[in-house]
Amino acid sequence: MRTELCGIELEHPIINASGTFDAIAARRAFGDAVLERFPFSAYVSKTITPAPRTGNPPPRLWEEPAGMVNSIGLPNKGLDGFMDGDLPALAELPVPLIVSVMATSAEEFAPLVESVAGRAEVAALELNVSCPNVHSGLIVGEEPGETAALMTALRPLTAKPLIVKLTPNVAEPAAVAIAAEQGGADAVSLINTIKAAPALADGTPWLGAGSGGLSGPAVRSIALKQVADVAAAIEIPVIGMGGVERGVHAAALLGAGAAAVAVGTASFRDPLAAARIRAELEALAVDSPAPSGTA
Ligand SMILES: Cc1cc2nc3c(=O)[nH]c(=O)nc-3n(C[C@H](O)[C@H](O)[C@H](O)COP(=O)(O)O)c2cc1C
């Protein structure tokens, strides 16, 4: 089950999806048992932004028959709050730390990337590009040109791995993945949530922000298609996610070309879901080992 991602050794291929497992709160609630039985082989932080954000107005969640829609709105302590408050606590986790960052322009991204990458505790950065560029108004991750320009600006700032988190809300995610790769990304991760707007019977939007993003089992086969398309189009590793609830779902993403798999919404129902998924994946590998020479 050991694997490697952008030069980072992982004990197994199951990591968490950003924003879906609060390791600091889990440790507060369950103590050091969380460290002893940490379910992920690397930990991806909640996305941080340059300044603190309070997030979107409530309600922020809507349950679907096979998933949920969230409009959390990236509440976070901002760069300074993260560095002083959260980073020391996250550095105590027994696995490599990947910090997710987001900003609204390359100029805003730059100090974020330099500060976070400059810390020895941080193994890699994930760039959340599902946000409009303040100059162009375009969602960076929806436009290959915007993604390439951002990577060109950020790549020289650090030698640490830069993972671009792709949005599924495009016709051709592979085109954006190719732009990320050409701009110097070390890996891509996908899928982020799919735009969704639940409403009441009279048409009133349920979510305080009006709309949000769908995740969970409902998006699984979309994720599988997009991961396969992206993995076929680029050379750099792909981290696959979207609706993974069981070992077979992780195996399918790995089979589609993912180098690692992230568990997101499933952790809300069961914080140890990732440990079970990992065990199920391991059992599948034992039952049907890879042909000799390819293990
Ligand atoms: C409540 C919630 C919060 C999330 N927060 C973030 C975030 O801060 N940054 C990010 O890149 N993705 C965030 N995501 C998206 C997940 O990382 C993941 O890409 C998506 O949910 C698909 O995986 P899943 O179906 O396993 O949840 C969030 C998802 C949920 C449900």
Summarize the confidence of residues 59-79 as an average pLDDT. Answer: 96
What mean pLDDT do residues 125-130 have? 96
Cβ–ligand 1 contact at 261 (below 6 Å): no
Does residue 30 lie within any of the structural domains? yes
Q: Give the pLDDT band (50/70/90) at residue 289.
A: low
Q: Return the CATH number at 156.
A: 3.20.20.70
Cα(284) to centroid(ligand 1), Å: 26
DSSP 7-60: TEEESSSEEEPTTS--HHHHHHHHTTHHHHT---SSEEPPPB-SS-B--PPSP-
18 in ligand 1 pocket by Cβ < 6 Å?
yes
**pLDDT of the residue at 246:** 98
Nearest CA to ligand 1 atom 16: 17
Q: What is the DSSP string of 185-220?
A: -SEEEE--PEEE--B-TTS-BSSTTS-EEEESGGGH
pLDDT at 290: 57
In this predicted model, what pLDDT tens digit does every residue of 156-214 receive, in sequence order? Answer: 999 999 999 999 999 999 999 999 999 999 999 999 999 999 999 999 999 999 999 99
Nearest residue (CA) to ligand 1, atom 28: 19
Is 177 contained in some domain?
Answer: yes
Q: Please report the pLDDT score of residue 288 as a whole number.
A: 73
Domain count, the chain: 1
Helices and strands: H and E segment counts in the chain: 11, 14
Tell the residue nearest (CA) to atom 19 of ligand 1. Answer: 192
pLDDT digit string, tens, across residues 250-266: 999 999 999 999 999 99
Q: Is there a contact between 161 and 122 (Cβ–Cβ < 8 Å)?
A: no
Would residue 203 count as lying in a domain? no
Residue 137 has pLDDT above 90, yes or no: no
Residue with CA at minimum distance from ligand 1 atom 23 = 242
Domain that holds residue 219: 3-52+71-195+212-287
What is the rounded average pLDDT of the residues 280-293?
77
Domain assignment of residue 292, yes or no: no
14-64 pLDDT, tens digit per residue, is: 999 999 999 999 999 999 999 999 999 999 999 999 999 999 999 999 999
pLDDT at 78: 98
Ligand 1 atom nearest the C-alpha of 190 is 19
Residue with the smallest CA separation from ligand 1 atom 6 is 19
Cβ of 193 closer than 6 Å to ligand 1, yes or no, is yes
Indicate whether 293 pLDDT > 50. no
Is the pLDDT at 76 greater than 90, yes or no?
Answer: yes
Would you place residue 291 in the very low, low, confident or very high pLDDT band (cuts 50, 70, 90)?
low
65 located within any domain: no
Residues labelled as active-site residues: 131
User: Does any domain span residue 293?
Assistant: no
Ligand 1 pocket, residue 241 CB under 6 Å: yes
pLDDT surpasses 70 at 294: no
Q: How far is the CA of 18 from the centre of ligand 1 (A)?
A: 5
Q: Is the beta carbon of 281 within 6 A of some atom in ligand 1?
A: no
Give the DSSP H or E segment for 284.
helix 273-287
Distance CA 19, CA 277 (A): 19
Question: Under 8 Å CB-to-CB from 18, ≥6 apart: which residues?
Answer: 44, 45, 46, 47, 100, 126, 128, 165
For residue 93, is it within any domain?
yes
- 59: in domain: no
Alpha-carbon span 47 to 112, nearest angstrom: 11
Residue position matching structure tokens 């020479």 = 293
Instruction: State the angle between helix axes of 247-255 and 273-287 in degrees (0 to 180), rounded to the nearest 10.
Output: 60
Kindly compute the dihedral angle of the four CA atoms of residues 201, 202, 205, 206, in this order, to the nearest 10 degrees.
Answer: -40
Q: Is 70 helix (H, G, I), strand (E, B) or coil?
A: strand
Nearest alpha-carbon partner for 89 in 33, 28, 30? 28
**Cα dihedral sign for 37, 40, 41, 43?**
negative
Helix (H, G, I), strand (E, B) or coil at 88: helix
Better pLDDT: 294 or 158 = 158
**Ligand 1: distance of its center to the CA of 108 in Å?**
22
* Cβ(125)–Cβ(101) below 8 Å: yes
pLDDT of residue 295: 40
